[in-house]
């Protein structure tokens, strides 16, 4: 898979490529026995992912910060798919309190959980701290999903055990993981405003998404659990995620128009990794254009993945016990 495949849409070993859409890569797949959570499922590729999963029969829970937008997304899906099973639950990934409340509300529904699509995120935002006093891109893109996944794991394990159906966790990363902060993750400078770069901080959070899936996959395999964890790069798509850098992205798109995808193409890799039977048992991998790819050196570093896991656990516990965690330089 190279620039030729990206430009032409020529399929890779999977039979799919950059031009494939989410509907095409899931054609003929029956997901009627599956329940899925899609974070950020109210807009962009998250909405298309939710729609296509519902189209294939899955019961979809749209987890979103904006409840009105999520309910409007639900109505759009129901208008397109009359028999779709879609519910909405509020979730603000930048808030540990909100993540915990979401999990409590989901568990109260007494539903199984087969698929967790960690899709939501923020991009290139100015420096700001979350309500838990954590840099916003790291808090939203990584830490919120890290906590959400951990809190839902027992539900997913129980579902996989009782149904015999493989559970799948999909983290949306980005090619931006190739350009993180110095040393990959700046553990001692997560909140350092003086050295903050919106682009590097985004790359750091997207690297964290891959490392999270890598370490989670290792732990699940050691435990012998029937759940896979993979990460994906959806491609270059103009979505609301880019609201903090709209002018930059429009300029970039003008000069690189052939590299960009539409939203149905952007959701393809997520839906492929979540549903396609050819990926049964495949875990700890990184996908681009519906094909396995090799991520960056840092993303392949097992010691870094383990260190990030331990750091994230400590950060969650620290944030839960104090309003000012000690994570600045």
Could you tell me if 120 and 128 are in contact, meaning their C-beta atoms sit under 8 angstroms apart?
A: no
The CATH fold assigned to 3-319 is: Rossmann fold (3.40.50)
- pLDDT for 41 beyond 50: yes
Per-residue model confidence as pLDDT tens digits over 9-24: 678 999 999 999 999 9
If we measure between CA atoms, which residue out of 237, 197, 42, 181 comes closest to residue 120? 42
First-to-last C-alpha distance (Å) of the chain: 40
Is residue 260 within 8 A of residue 238, CB to CB? The reply is: yes
For the chain, counts of helices (H) and of strands (E): 12, 8
Backbone angles phi, psi at 21, to 5 degrees: -105, 165
- pLDDT exceeds 70 at position 244: no
Contact criterion met (CB below 8 Å) for 209 and 173:
yes
What does the pLDDT read at residue 150?
98
Residue 328 CA, chain-centre distance (Å), reads 26
Position 40 scores a pLDDT of 98
**pLDDT tens digits for range 256-300:** 444 569 999 999 999 999 999 999 999 999 999 999 999 999 999
- Are 325 and 133 in contact, with CB atoms under 8 Å apart? yes
Helix (H, G, I), strand (E, B) or coil at 317: helix
The answer for residues whose C-beta is within 8 angstroms of residue 32's C-beta and 6 or more apart is: 56, 57, 58
Distance CA 21, CA 226 (A): 28
Per-residue pLDDT at 181? 87
**92 pLDDT band (50/70/90 cuts)?**
very high
Which residue in 47, 115, 113, 62 sits closest to 275, CA to CA?
A: 115
**Tokens linked to 247:** 């002018």
pTM: 0.90
Percent share of the chain, pLDDT over 90 = 84
The pLDDT score that the predictor gives to residue 10 is 76
Catalytic residue among 196, 272, 286, 298: 196
Q: Is 196 a catalytic residue?
A: yes
- Delimit the domains of the chain by residue range: 3-319
What per-residue confidence (pLDDT) applies to 320?
A: 72
**Alpha carbons 161 and 154: distance in angstroms, whole number:** 10
How far apart CA 37 and CA 308 sit, in angstroms, is 24
Reported residue count of the chain is 329
Quote the pLDDT of residue 218. Answer: 98
321/163 Cα distance (integer angstroms): 37
Q: Which residue has the tokens 């989901």?
A: 106
Q: Is-contact 81 51, C-beta < 8 A?
A: yes
Q: Which two tokens stand for residue 263?
A: 């939203």
What separation in angstroms does the CA of 94 have from each of 134, 214, 218, 300? Answer: 8, 22, 26, 26
- Nearest-angstrom CA–CA distance, 290 and 287: 6
Average pLDDT over residues 105-123: 98
More confident residue, 197 or 247: 197
Model confidence at 326, pLDDT cuts 50, 70, 90, reads very low
User: Helix or strand or coil: residue 325?
Assistant: coil
**Predicted pLDDT at 236:** 79
C-alpha distances out from residue 45 to 16, 86, 191, 222, Å: 18, 16, 29, 32
Average pLDDT, the chain: 91
Count the neighbouring beta carbons within 10 Å of the beta carbon of residue 192: 15
């Amino acid at each position: 898979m190279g620039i030729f495949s990206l430009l032409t849409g020529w399929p890779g070993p999977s039979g799919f490529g950059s031009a494939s859409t989410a509907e095409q890569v899931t054609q003929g797949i029956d997901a009627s026995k599956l329940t899925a959570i899609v974070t950020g499922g109210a807009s962009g590729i998250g909405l298309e992912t939710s729609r296509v999963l519902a189209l294939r029969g899955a019961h979809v829970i749209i987890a979103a910060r904006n409840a009105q937008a999520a309910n409007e997304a639900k109505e759009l899906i129901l208008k397109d798919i009359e028999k779709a099973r879609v519910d909405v639950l509020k979730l603000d990934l930048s808030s540990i309190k909100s993540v915990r409340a979401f999990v409590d509300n989901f568990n109260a529904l007494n539903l199984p959980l087969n698929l967790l699509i960690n899709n939501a995120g923020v991009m290139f935002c100015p420096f700001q701290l979350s309500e838990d006093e954590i840099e916003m891109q790291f808090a939203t893109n990584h830490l919120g999903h890290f906590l959400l996944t951990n809190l839902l794991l027992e539900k997913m394990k129980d579902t996989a055990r009782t149904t015999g159906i493989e559970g799948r966790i999909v983290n949306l990363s980005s090619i931006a993981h190739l350009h993180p902060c110095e040393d990959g993750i700046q553990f001692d400078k997560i909140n350092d405003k003086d050295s903050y770069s919106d682009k590097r901080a985004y790359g750091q959070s997207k690297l964290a998404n891959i490392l999270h899936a890598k370490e989670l996959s290792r732990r699940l395999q050691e435990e012998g659990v029937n759940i896979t964890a993979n990460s994906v790069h959806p491609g270059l798509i103009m979505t609301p995620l880019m609201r903090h850098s709209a002018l930059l992205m429009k300029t970039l798109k003008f000069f690189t128009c052939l590299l960009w995808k539409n939203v149905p193409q952007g959701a393809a890799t997520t839906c492929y990794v979540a549903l396609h039977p050819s990926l049964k048992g495949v875990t700890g991998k990184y996908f681009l254009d519906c094909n396995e790819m090799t991520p960056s050196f840092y993303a392949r570093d097992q010691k870094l993945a383990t260190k990030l896991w331990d750091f994230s656990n400590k950060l969650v516990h620290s944030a839960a016990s104090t309003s000012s965690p000690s994570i600045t330089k």
